[in-house]
Amino acid sequence: MVGILFAFWQEGSDKQFFRSPDFKALKADLVLHGVSYRRDTRKRSSEWVVKADTARFYEKKRECEFDRVRIVFLPGDKEPVTIVARKGLYDFDHGRLRVSGDVKVDGFRDYVLYADQLLYDPDSMTITAPGNAELVGSAGNRLKGKAMVYYIRDRRLTLAFPRAEISENDSGLN
């Protein structure tokens, strides 16, 4: 198997110097830098767009690892849901995506979600946070819990063991 390395530079970025890595240390079949990938399915509009600093493809495992990843889910006529994380892993056989490390999600109405790890399942169109999850509202309200599930199509959220922190501005008390 031959490893291939691609690097994409944007116009005007010729001042950056690219060093060729040690191919034996990569262990990936294909390495891409500055990746933008749009997942389209037949007869349907795009489901999501992935952007990452680096993507490593493993042919035998049928997986792709991402570094510094940003994923935008496009649920039809509804507002997009954006996920940003340090790492990502995409499973080609099942279409599942896992992100971890400083995970931040925008698109939950007026809330931002923070989690350690998120899983995306295309069959159920759900985003799951199996560990700690925290929703922070624009007014400063916080909703913390574990095992959060977000249903993208319906824009509904389930949170196990919830704990709320309501700000004075939103409590109705003066």
Give residue limits of the domains in the chain.
4-15+25-170
Continuous segment of H or E residues that includes residue 26: helix 23-26
Per-residue pLDDT, 37 = 82
In the structure encoding, which two tokens stand for residue 38, read together? 């749009």
pTM as predicted? 0.74
Per-residue pLDDT, 125 = 83
CATH class for the region spanning 4-15+25-170: mainly beta
Closest CA to 148 of 126, 170, 168, 169: 126
Q: Report the distance separating Cα 57 and Cα 66, nearest Å.
A: 9
State the pairing for strand pair 30-39/4-7: parallel
Per-residue pLDDT, 12 = 46
- Express each pLDDT in 26-63 by its tens digit: 678 888 899 888 866 666 666 778 899 999 999 989 99
Per-residue pLDDT, 89 = 94
| 140 φ/ψ sector (left φ>0, alpha ψ -120 to 50, else beta) | left
Instruction: Give 118-168 as a 3 state SS string.
Output: EEEECCCCEEEEEEEEEEEECCCCEEEEEEEEEECCCCEEEEEEEEEECCH
Give residue 152's identity as a one-letter amino acid code: I
Closest CA to 49 of 41, 66, 58, 37: 37
Give the up-direction half-sphere exposure of residue 166: CA atoms within 13 A in the CB hemisphere.
6
Q: Report the distance separating Cα 118 and Cα 132, nearest Å.
A: 10
Spell out, as residue ranges, where the chain has pLDDT lower than 70: 1-26, 39-46, 75-76, 168-174
Q: Report the distance separating Cα 100 and Cα 69, nearest Å.
A: 10
